Amino acid sequence: MTQAAQQAAIPDEQAEIDAGAGPDPNYNFAYLDEQTKRMIRRAMLKAVAIPGYQVPFASREMPMPYGWGTGGVQVTASIIGPDDVLKVIDQGADDTTNAVSIRQFFERTTDVETTTRTEDASIIQTRHRIPEKALSEDQILVYQVPIPEPLRFLEPRESETRKMHALGEYGLMHVKLYEDIATHGHIATTYAYPVKVNGHYIMDPSPTPKFDNPKMHRMPALQLFGAGREKRIYAIPPHTAVYSLDFEDHPFDVQQWEQPCEICGATDTFLDEVVTDDRGGRMFVCSDTDHCTRDQEAAE
Amino acid sequence: MIGADAKAAGSDLNGTGAPNAGFDNPVLQSQAMYRKLLGAMAQPGRILSCELSLDVPAPLWPTTAAAALTLLDFDTPLWLNPGAAAAPALGNYLRFHSGCPLVEATGNAAFAIISDPAELPPLDSFAAGTDEYPDRSATLLIQVERLDDSRGVILRGPGIECKQTLQAKGLPQGFWQQVQENHAGFPRGVDMIFCAQNQIAALPRSTQVEV
Amino acid sequence: MYVAVKGGEAAINEAHKLLAEERRGDPSVSELSVDQIDEQLSLAVDRVMTEGSLYDRKLAALAIKQARGDLIEAIFLIRAYRTTLPRFGSSSPVDTAAMGIRRRISATFKDIPGGQILGPTFDYTHRLLDFKLAAEGDGGHGNSLDEDAGSIDEKVLLDEAMPRVVDLLKHEGLIEDERPGDDDDDVGDLTREPMSFPVERDIRLQNLARGDEGFLLALGYSTQRGYGRSHPFAGEIRLGEVAVEFTPEDLGFPIEIGELTLTECQMVNQFKGSAEAPPQFTRGYGLSFGHCERKVIAMALVDRALKGRALGETVEGPAQDEEFVMEHSDNIQATGFVEHLKLPHYVDFQSELELVRKMRRKMARADADNANNEIVEAAE
């Protein structure tokens, strides 16, 4: 672990409590029992071997609510080891309450190093964003997924959507996107924008903004997706082709802002809108807080 | 007889018939081994070294044994090639440490250990899953004498930036053609993990092979 | 200058302190003990055990205390604890025909061998608030509505044999036969393997037994109102204790390891018959830990409704739709996903804001163009 990462380690108070304490002896390392880890590990190997396919797994009941990252937590718990350095983000930020809660869970059950610095992390668990900084082959990105089935809102029945995937019958999805164009002049899906993985399966990238979709394409890091409530795991191996669905006359495009980040001045990042008063005052700042802080530091 | 078998299997050093020891620290060692397996599957053809100090019954190698201890349990029916099945110490070892049921028919196996690649059955005799559930397919642990990624067949596909070469010593005639057929059936198919003395490499069904 | 919001960790810690304080309430009021909850809020304990799928009264009572009486939160605590417990194996099936009966009623026959046993029921209480209970110290027995009832010694008076009413119908061949499937040694467990549809009945019953009482109640009610009608009769509802037997691997024969309190409902439903099956009665089944009578009746209605497809009935009501019922019955899954809307979604919301603004700008431009055209036309 680099010195930089040590400096960035989460608040001092917590560090003092945890220093050298080791993982909580009341629970197995990373909470899950070994049989559960094996079951999840086997599912992940199949997920990696069949990119974009949703592998059913016997998701466990975790000590945090369904819909709050239980899938991502189970994936992370099944891969994490004492040498890992973990980063957890929600909405791009390390300090959002649920990211803090998940990071604390792993600090308690594994005692691994944690960091906010993207490049220092070996495992990054995320909800709703992909870090701005490009990831490397040595990293694993774990996504928390609420609804893994990209066709679910077109067809609520699993028995039907599974057939559609098996037959590659994705016409319904194209029709839906084209209806958007007919009604609005463009595709009205802005997040959880469907992608095609390695030219085969249509996959839900989790509710990340479509701004992040291009980062998935040929990403050097392994991407793992865990949906706890829906009991599915899927994956994109490194360097895999990931295309956002579009039409020749309506190519895929991403969100753009008219102003730079007001904190760091970045013009190429996803911006959060912050309401500053009740008279229409607002400003735009980076959603990736690590990226923003570091840009600022670099500027100073 | 028991002694003779055990001797042939190169195990049972204390003569009690007890199986060889498994991992010293099952939780952390299986985690470390799993990351190797995951890394191998995610980067097909890439050779990862595994330095293991495991006392294992012949004809298993430490890499194969570690992969088995990491992935197998009572939920995973296992098929052994005849040479491996004939070594009782090996069956005892796997049953004792993982509790996995041994099956006779390749088609019923979730995992297979092939200690001698000359005894590798046709790939399509193993479960390939269905179009709706392609994950219900076998994973083969194939022991090979040597792995070399500086030459051999050319691999392309997910997990590979441009292309990757791979050679595995001792594979039967026509093996790579079977791998091509396995890939052609995507998303159905089997996935393979090659285990050399202290190295592993994987070949999932998603990989295209050019001979 | 604006500084990004920080302090999530400190906020969480403070929230936990406030929660502990609120849970305790006014410290001048004496603290509730786990035993008090177990003994005096026993039906809450029963529900938490049933939907939490763990038979342990003390833990359920503790969960209720910790959850400040929020039963779904208590069920969640029990579920999260249960998932960490090791499994030793499966018990033999319990024999509810051999139940030590405390309550047993049938709506299908006026009298039955063993008789109708009313037992501890709210059924014929008048729902009038009993202000005597508000006074502290209820005189030990607490049966203030019924002071003349005297001591209760029902078990001594009851018949030994209490055959199940549905078994009586079975002897006559009037009700569908039910047998475990070929894989009866291998009882499914949806907490250990993912469901795939269509599911076997063992998984269905497990799902319903763990399912939310309110959800099953509404679905059961909907079948009575015509959304998948099944002409139900309460063949029998029984409450009591059954022995649990387990066969240890090294012993080879079953030994009794304890006793459970169970409520069972067997629903008898009319069925006119189909091409394959003669006219006969069909069944719906409900079972719970402890005394959860409303739950087992609702469960039996939904179980019967879900047989519709197999019996060749038209599937038209939500209660007959297996995937719909089973995917939405679990209140821990439901509450997690419904309540996750509390989590930040600003990234997605920002994406939508950007889109709505863009669409409005486009519309405004189009309106302006039209207005200009009209002015030009009018001028011409």
Q: What mean pLDDT is predicted for residues C239-266?
A: 93
Higher pLDDT, C20 or B4: C20
pLDDT of residue A107: 96
| Residue A264 is among the residues annotated as catalytic for this protein | yes
Chain A CB contacts of C359 below 8 Å: 184, 188
A281 is catalytic: no
Interface test with B, best of A29, A50, A136, A222 (most B CBs within 10 A): A50
- The verdict on C102 and C216 lying in the same domain is yes
Residue C168 pLDDT class (50, 70, 90 cuts) = confident
B36-48: pLDDT as tens digits: 999 999 999 999 9
- Render pLDDT for C84-126 as a digit per residue (tens, 0 to 9): 887 778 899 999 999 999 999 999 888 888 889 999 999 999 8
| Catalytic one of A185, A261, A280, A281 | A261
pLDDT, average across residues C124-151: 68
Count of domains observed in chain C: 2
Nearest by CB to residue A240, choosing from B27, B41, B158, is: B158
Do C21 and C162 sit in the same domain of this protein? no
Q: Residue B11 has what pLDDT?
A: 40
Give tens-digit pLDDT for B104-136. 999 999 999 999 999 999 999 999 999 999 999
For A104-153, the pLDDT digits (tens) are 999 999 999 999 999 999 999 999 999 999 999 999 999 999 999 999 98
Q: Between the ranges C25-34, C249-258, C273-282, where is the mean pLDDT highest?
A: C25-34
Give whole-number Cα distances, C64 to C57, C70, C77, C263, in Å.
10, 7, 9, 21
Same domain membership, residue C327 and residue C276: yes
Q: Which positions ≥6 away from A54 have C-beta within 8 Å?
A: A47, A148, A149, A165, A227, A232, A233, A234
> Does the residue C209 lie in any domain?
yes
Confidence label for C5 from pLDDT (cuts 50, 70 and 90): low
Give yes or no: residues C208 and C277 share one domain. Answer: yes
- DSSP-based three-state secondary structure for A199: coil
B180 Cα distance to chain centroid: 19
What's the residue count for chain A? 300
For residue C258, tell me if it sits in a domain: yes
Q: Is the pLDDT of residue C153 over 70?
A: no
Is C177 a domain residue?
A: yes
- Same-domain status, C71 and C173: no
pLDDT of res. C176: 86
- CA C298 – CA C219 distance, rounded (Å): 8
The mean per-residue pLDDT over the stretch A47-59 comes to 97
C310 within some domain: yes
Look up the pTM and report it.
0.86
Residue C315 shares a structural domain with residue C184: yes
Q: Do C191 and A146 touch (CB under 8 A)?
A: no
Do A200 and B26 make contact, defined as CB atoms within 8 angstroms? no
**3-class SS at C196?**
coil
pLDDT digits (tens, 9 = 90+) for A68-89: 999 999 999 999 999 999 999 9
Looking at the fold, whether C174 and C51 belong to one and the same domain comes out as: no
Whether C175 and C319 map to the same domain: the answer is yes
Tell me, yes or no, whether C164 and C60 share the same domain: no
C259, amino acid identity: E
Looking at residue B131, what is its pLDDT?
96
What is the rounded average pLDDT for all residues in chain B?
91
Please indicate, yes or no, whether residues C225 and C260 belong to a single structural domain of this protein: yes
Q: What are the angstrom distances between the C-alpha of A41 and each of A221, A233, B27, C39? A: 18, 10, 13, 44
Residue C300 lies in a domain: yes
Percent of chain C exceeding pLDDT 70 equals 90
Per the structure, the complete domain to which residue C206 belongs is given by 96-127+153-336
Whole-number Å distance between alpha carbons of A213 and C301: 47
Q: Is position C343 within any domain?
A: no
C216 with C73, same domain: the answer is no
- Four-point Cα dihedral A234, A236, A241, A244, nearest 10: 50
pLDDT at position C288 is 98
Residue C233 lies in a domain: yes
According to the model, what pLDDT value does residue A8 have? 37
Query: In this structure, is residue C90 part of a structural domain?
Result: no
Q: Could you report the per-residue pLDDT of B163-210, keeping only the tens digit for each?
A: 999 999 999 999 999 999 999 999 999 999 999 999 999 999 999 999
In this model, does residue B16 exceed pLDDT 90? Answer: no
Which residue, of C297, C316, C336, is where some domain finishes? C336
Does residue A224 carry a pLDDT above 80?
A: yes
Query: Based on the domain organization, do C54 and C102 belong to the same domain?
Result: no
Q: Which of B23, B29, B37, B38 to mutate to test the interface with A (most CBs of A within 10 A)?
A: B38
Which subunits count as partners of chain B given 3+ CB pairs below 8 Å? A
CA of B12 vs chain A CAs: smallest distance (Å): 27
Alpha carbon of A211: minimum distance to chain B alpha carbons (Å): 23
Which of C26, C57, C82 terminates a domain? The answer is C82
By the 8 A CB rule, do C302 and C220 touch?
yes
pLDDT at A291: 95
Question: What confidence score (pLDDT) does residue C193 get?
Answer: 85
Whether complex ipTM tops 0.90: yes
Whole-number Å distance between alpha carbons of B28 and A159:
38
Q: Residue A61 and residue C83: Cβ atoms within 8 Å? A: yes
Which of A12, A17, A29, A66 to mutate to test binding with chain C, by most C CBs within 10 Å of its CB?
Answer: A66
How far apart are the C-alpha atoms of C80 and B195, rounded to whole Å? Answer: 38
